[in-house]
Amino acid sequence: MQLFYLFVILVLTCTAMGQHIIRKQAFSHCKKGWENCEKCQSVYEYKYALVLIGSSNSPEPSRPITKTNTKWVSYEVEKWFSSFEEAQEYSQKNNVPIEIADEDKYPVLQKLSHKLPPKWILQVNHAQNILLIYRPKVIYTYQENRINAQSIEEIVQKYGKKTYPHIEYTIKKPLTAAEREQINMKNEAISKQIQALPKKYNIEHLTPEYLHGEKENTFPNYPNATNAEKKRIQKYQKELKKLEDEYIPTPVYSTPDFDLWNESITGTNSALERVYPEEISEETLLVLKTIREFFTSNK
Ligand SMILES: [Zn+2]
């Protein structure tokens, strides 16, 4: 019986004192967060911090709270680290456990994150297999590009969708060399069939662009074609579509540890979409270029 009480007292003292841990935290200016506060947007960072979890036994609304195994407890950030290495060093010296963020488990992603422009954050959600590269900044996107120059700002901001610039990939375990080779072979065979299509339908003379190799796979809509030719064009287009659907998808980028699939981009002007503020489009394109150069030169 006495032992039991002693145990209870010990547990109470431990939780009252709290426990130190190092983990990545959002650094922002106030509780509103970057989605609602401009100051937060300008200072927002996602970096390692020394955190005291369970700093108080009675979580008050004024204190930030975090979820441990089963319950919500308050926490306090006691120290910010400027880098992953600094956090690791502190962890070893002071024997404080470090919760390494998923993106920092891959050295290649750590390297990439250092190449991104300031304010851009690289984050991995392992549970969902997602690599997210984003800037915590409110922007608007509007699904239409034919807006006249004077009203872009007003229209996109008023009717656009509130979002933030981000590029997303699905992370998968890398294809084996054999799998890759097999896919390449099948896709090359499809390409060859596609290249042979204009000849097959006897419409080569109607596809100057194709013959010049500038615009593969597209077929200009010739108003001057005869009815017989138009029929052959239709057949050609039908088979072209069928063949194109047979292409086996491949990863956008490959590394020895993982492949990245399904690039999705928000925050660039395109034929179908307009973003506001306009400058963000250039910035997002620059990030895309950085990612592309990084993965293609690292091969
Ligand atoms: Zn704020």
What is the DSSP code string of 58-106? S--TTS-EEE-SSSEEEEEEEEE-SSHHHHHHHHHHHT--B---GGGG-
CA 36–ligand 1 middle distance (angstroms): 7
Backbone dihedral region for residue 209 (phi beyond 0: left; psi -120 to 50: alpha; all else: beta): alpha
CA 138–ligand 1 middle distance (angstroms): 13
CA 76–ligand 1 middle distance (angstroms): 18
CA 183–ligand 1 middle distance (angstroms): 49
Residue type, 297: S
Please determine, for residue 261, whether its predicted confidence score (pLDDT) is greater than 50.
Answer: yes
pLDDT of amino acid 73: 77
φ and ψ at residue 90, rounded to 5 degrees: -65, -40
Confidence at 237, pLDDT banded by 50, 70, 90:
confident
CA 285–ligand 1 middle distance (angstroms): 28
CA 45–ligand 1 middle distance (angstroms): 12
User: Which pLDDT tens digit goes with each residue over 117-166?
Assistant: 999 999 999 888 999 999 999 999 988 767 666 677 788 778 889 999 99
- In 3D space, the residue among 291, 286, 281 whose CA is nearest the CA of residue 141 turns out to be 281
Find the mean pLDDT for residues 99-105. 93
* Selected residue with higher pLDDT from 267 and 198: 267
Please determine, for residue 14, whether its predicted confidence score (pLDDT) is greater than 60.
Answer: no
Q: Which range among 10-14, 115-119, 149-153, 235-239 shows the weakest confidence by mean pLDDT?
A: 10-14
CA 40–ligand 1 middle distance (angstroms): 4
Q: Are 143 and 126 in contact (CB under 8 A)?
A: no
CA distance 45 to 83: 12
Q: Are 44 and 38 in contact (CB under 8 A)?
A: no
User: Which pLDDT tens digit goes with each residue over 89-101?
Assistant: 999 999 999 999 9
Q: Which range among 7-16, 39-48, 260-269 shows the weakest confidence by mean pLDDT?
A: 7-16
CA distance 79 to 108: 27
Q: Which range among 36-50, 173-187, 209-223 shows the weakest confidence by mean pLDDT?
A: 209-223
For the whole model, what pTM was predicted? 0.77
DSSP state of 121: E
Backbone dihedral region for residue 162 (phi beyond 0: left; psi -120 to 50: alpha; all else: beta): beta
CA 238–ligand 1 middle distance (angstroms): 55
SS3 267: coil
270 burial (CB, 10 Å; 0-12 / 13-18 / 19+) is exposed
CA 35–ligand 1 middle distance (angstroms): 9
* Selected residue with higher pLDDT from 66 and 12: 66
Question: Sign of the C-alpha dihedral, residues 80, 81, 84, 88?
Answer: negative
CA distance 80 to 51: 9
Residue 78: C-alpha distances to residues 55, 81, 185 (Å) = 11, 10, 56
CA distance 203 to 196: 11
Q: Are 52 and 28 in contact (CB under 8 A)?
A: no
- In 3D space, the residue among 281, 271, 284, 299 whose CA is nearest the CA of residue 134 turns out to be 284
